[in-house]
Amino acid sequence: MTNAQLQFSKRMEPITGSAIRELLKLTAKPGMISFAGGNPGNFALPDEAIADIAQDMLKKDGKKLLQYGPTEGYRPLLDTLVGYVAEEFSVTASQEEILPVSGSSQAMDLISKAYLNPGDTVLVESPTFLGNIQCLRIFEANIVPVPSDDNGIDTVELERLINMHHPKMLYTIPTFQNPTGITMSLERRKTIAQLAAKYQMLVAEDEPYRSLRFEGTPLPSIKSFDEGGWVVLMGSFSKVISPGLRVGFMVGDATLIRKCTVCKQSADVHTPSLNQAIVNEFVTRGLLKPQIEKACAVYRTQMHTMLEELKKIQAIEYHTTPEGGLFIFAAIAEGKDVGPLFQKAVANNVAFVPGEPFYPEGGHKNTLRLNFSNADVDTIRKGMSILRSCFDEN
């Protein structure tokens, strides 16, 4: 039944839903080789360890974990996060500066709710993560794209755009970016922290892929160079433990965290305590590091297989060479459209994501995103060979 009389908010009129989520439905048919998702590989989901932990935690503290909990977060997880953000992100934060959230997507939602008025300008790197473009659109932000290159956001162009648009916020994914896989250079991280303080612009730093490093040296987060509370860091356990648990966190100025906590009270009261406890135990039992090492060893081989196969496709004129994460971004000749190739690939049971929806300004129809975490090496070879025939036999 559909009710044609329902009058939705004006705010939702231009929002159509994630093009990628729609596309993933299309590619869920049996036999499809999908390079379209952004999930961790199924092999990497620690179901048995989590079953043990869940049982232990319910036996030990079941009544408390099944009761309502504080919006501010499950206390033992907060304790753990203080050490975790220091070690992983080089960020010193007190518990008042950290909020566990229901996936880092919720952090973006809470920040937008707490900090943005309709019409406020938000700069975003282009291309960027579609889910958070959608979030900014729902909060009626004026989204202005900032060009990026193989070292991340072009900071000269960024300062020019700051002077032109006086933005309230910048949204960036500095490490193994979605969709490009690119990592922002150290210099640019420092520059962005300086520009944030100079122009009083909040920086929302989104880091869900940071720990999935296969090569190269980890770089400090932008937050670690923060002067005066202008950077808010969004972290997630989705890509390293389980996206289904929906546990992430945000780290920022204590007043911003407080405002976001108030917004969270009416959003979901708190992130499920059992899930917070599971993540906390997973980290404190020392399971996270070996889990990441195991996953990265496999992802690394999968990524290199995909890169090898990608180089054989003559139509591909450009591709990124990431040092980690889950994605490779590629392009065919400027002015061409991957749309018909996507249709052809799906008809031949291989899926990828056309790049256009990742660009807030649209266009760039010649680009595509490929995910390498959800197919084993043989399947990657098979799928890429099918893509090669679709792309090169024109």
Residues contributing to the site for ligand PLP (CB under 6 A): 38, 103-105, 129, 131, 173, 178, 206, 208, 236, 238, 243, 248
- Shortest approach of ligand PLP to residue 83 CB, angstroms? 20
Give me the DSSP letters along 21-70.
HHHHHHTTSTT-EE----PPPGGG--HHHHHHHHHHHHHHHHHHHHS---
**In whole angstroms, what is the distance from residue 269 CA to residue 14 CA?**
29
- Shortest approach of ligand PLP to residue 206 CB, angstroms? 5
Residue nearer to ligand PLP on the CB measure, 121 or 238: 238
Q: How many CB atoms lie within 10 A of CB 114?
A: 17
Residue nearer to ligand PLP on the CB measure, 315 or 326: 326
Tallying the residues shown for the chain, one arrives at 394
Beta strands (DSSP E) in the chain are 33-34, 98-101, 121-126, 142-149, 152-153, 169-172, 202-206, 231-236, 248-251, 318-319, 327-331, 350-351, 353-354, 367-371
What does the DSSP 8-state code read for residue 96?
A: G
Residue nearer to ligand PLP on the CB measure, 39 or 191: 39
- Shortest approach of ligand PLP to residue 326 CB, angstroms? 8
Residue nearer to ligand PLP on the CB measure, 69 or 248: 248
- Shortest approach of ligand PLP to residue 369 CB, angstroms? 11
Enclosing H/E stretch for 78: helix 75-89
Residue nearer to ligand PLP on the CB measure, 365 or 369: 369
Q: How many CB atoms lie within 10 A of CB 150?
A: 10
Q: Which residues pair with 213 in a beta bridge?
A: 324
CA proximity to 174, closest of 299, 307, 304, 323: 323
Contact 389, 350 (CB under 8 A): no
Nearest residue by C-beta to ligand PLP? 103
Residue nearer to ligand PLP on the CB measure, 85 or 332: 85
Q: How far apart are the first and last CA of the chain?
A: 44
- Shortest approach of ligand PLP to residue 234 CB, angstroms? 7
Residue nearer to ligand PLP on the CB measure, 128 or 341: 128
Residue nearer to ligand PLP on the CB measure, 115 or 249: 249
- Shortest approach of ligand PLP to residue 104 CB, angstroms? 4
Q: Which residues pair with 202 in a beta bridge?
A: 169
- Shortest approach of ligand PLP to residue 347 CB, angstroms? 27
**In whole angstroms, what is the distance from residue 121 CA to residue 148 CA?**
18
Backbone Cα Rg of the chain: 21
- Shortest approach of ligand PLP to residue 101 CB, angstroms? 8
Q: How many CB atoms lie within 10 A of CB 223?
A: 26
